[in-house]
Amino acid sequence: MRIKHCISILVAGAALLLAGALPAQTIKIGFMSTYSGPGAAQGDQLDKGVKLYLKLNGDKLPPGVKIELIVRDDTGPNPDNAKRLAQELIVRDKVQFLTGVVWTPNAAAIAPLTAEAKVPFISANAAGVSVPYLSPYFARVSFTLWQSSYPLGQWAAKKFKRVYVAVSDFAPGHEAQEAFIRGFKEGGGEVVGSVRIPLKDPDFVPYIQRVKDSKPDALFAFNPAGRQSTAMMKAYGDLGLDKAGIKYIGPGDITTDEELQGMGDVALGVITAHHYSAAADRPANKAFVAAYKKEYGEKLFPGFMAVGAWDAMDSIFHVIREQKGKIDPDRTMELLKRFTSANSPRGPISIDPDTRDIVQNIYLREVRRTGGQLANVELETIATALKDPWKEFNKKK
């Protein structure tokens, strides 16, 4: 098990190393994802993003530096398990970085350990707004739900009078709910109902029936990307909400690119706000999607979690290069706070030095059929270089 989940990547500098020209330097990165249980599809995205990055960028490290990726399966939103695994990675394996982590509850359990041990922790997905407050060694390259759902609320207020809000009952769901409602109400919209659906083994039908009965103009929904989003979309179609003219809207998690083909035609016309679409025609994204398909299969599309993992590795490679392979946690955090990239598949990104959270564009997208396949087609950039709105509204004095 351990061997299966542990890979070492030898890079260009290793050749010189073998020739005796350089001292050995192995940097250990603890990578936590979800490889089993109902969340395994999300974990697979993180895994694919990290491994693709390492494969294509292995030669971009200082000479003599080698990466050892130590992979662990947190089995899903399971904070106790995640904490135990992180503890082992820190204490026994002595990792110099932690990354991966699909789930906010897991990231919240891990973060205090990273503060104690001074191990930089770069979230490739876990999006809960408050995680950065739990450790000064935490930085995020993914997103917050406020980033997608607040501007979507503002946009929706111009299109719809009455909206029903249905979200998964955990921190990112609560944040999507609060963010959308704030943006929508500020624009004069009326929320006709708002419900939180259990995260574990949900039966969407009764919730969707209630939505239908209240006859809103639109349903704003958030579920974790992956199988749950597909199941919720199916319930929306099966109960005929699309035919009743109730528009389906939400953060991009509800139409994540790797799930989209499986959602079928019911997804056509769904409007989302998000930072990443596999259909975006930016050159960096086209190159990323082509590389992903070449590596994993022509029929597969990368989703935003694969991109989060890619950018997490990109930020780690950046700080390794800047320190010439000699990693100091405080210097790493200073470098992460100033990290920017013009080459992310999602467009330009940076880290806000005050909050250690990602700054990025948010795009309004519509699911359309292009070239015989469903795609999240970007319609416009609804927010440029957006900081986490929650932190902007709740600035620490």
Sign of the four-CA dihedral 379, 382, 384, 390? negative
| Interface residue with ligand PHB, options 11, 90, 95, 126 (CB under 6 A) | 126
Concatenate the DSSP letters of all residues of 89-154 into one string: HHHTS--SEEEE---HHHHHHHHHHHHHHT--EEESS---TTGGGG-TTEEESS--HHHHHHHHHH
> Do the Cβ atoms of 254 and 233 come closer than 8 Å?
yes
Q: Is 309 exposed, middle or buried (0-12, 13-18, 19+ CB in 10 A)?
A: buried
Based on the shown chain and the rule CB under 6 A, indicate whether residue 362 belongs to the binding site for ligand PHB: no
> Do the Cβ atoms of 193 and 214 come closer than 8 Å?
yes
**Chain CA centroid to CA 108, Å:** 15
Minimum distance, C-beta of residue 127 to ligand PHB, in the bound complex (Å): 4
Q: Which is nearer to ligand PHB, 67 or 101 (CB)?
A: 101
| Interface residue with ligand PHB, options 43, 153, 172, 302 (CB under 6 A) | 172
Minimum distance, C-beta of residue 227 to ligand PHB, in the bound complex (Å): 11
Minimum distance, C-beta of residue 103 to ligand PHB, in the bound complex (Å): 4
CB atoms within 10 A of CB 263: 22
Within 231-290, the residues that bind ligand PHB by CB under 6 A are 253
Minimum distance, C-beta of residue 326 to ligand PHB, in the bound complex (Å): 32
Q: Which is nearer to ligand PHB, 200 or 286 (CB)?
A: 200
Angle (deg, nearest 10), helices 171-186 and 145-157 = 30
- As given in the structure block, the two tokens for residue 163 are 């909206």
Among the listed residues 393, 363, 395, the one whose alpha carbon sits nearest the alpha carbon of residue 378: 363
Q: Which is nearer to ligand PHB, 217 or 259 (CB)?
A: 259
> Do the Cβ atoms of 308 and 341 come closer than 8 Å?
no
List phi, psi (to 5°) of 103: -105, 135
Minimum distance, C-beta of residue 224 to ligand PHB, in the bound complex (Å): 3
Minimum distance, C-beta of residue 128 to ligand PHB, in the bound complex (Å): 5
Q: Which is nearer to ligand PHB, 126 or 309 (CB)?
A: 126
> Do the Cβ atoms of 357 and 385 come closer than 8 Å?
no
Based on the shown chain and the rule CB under 6 A, indicate whether residue 224 belongs to the binding site for ligand PHB: yes
Q: Is 297 exposed, middle or buried (0-12, 13-18, 19+ CB in 10 A)?
A: exposed
Q: Which is nearer to ligand PHB, 25 or 344 (CB)?
A: 344
Q: Which is nearer to ligand PHB, 253 or 388 (CB)?
A: 253
Based on the shown chain and the rule CB under 6 A, indicate whether residue 164 belongs to the binding site for ligand PHB: no
Query: How many chain residues bind ligand PHB (CB under 6 A)?
Result: 10
| Interface residue with ligand PHB, options 27, 32, 109, 127 (CB under 6 A) | 127
Minimum distance, C-beta of residue 388 to ligand PHB, in the bound complex (Å): 13
Minimum distance, C-beta of residue 86 to ligand PHB, in the bound complex (Å): 16
| Interface residue with ligand PHB, options 30, 76, 100, 128 (CB under 6 A) | 128
Within 66-125, the residues that bind ligand PHB by CB under 6 A are 102-104
Based on the shown chain and the rule CB under 6 A, indicate whether residue 225 belongs to the binding site for ligand PHB: yes
Residues that bind ligand PHB (CB under 6 A): 102-104, 126-128, 172, 224-225, 253
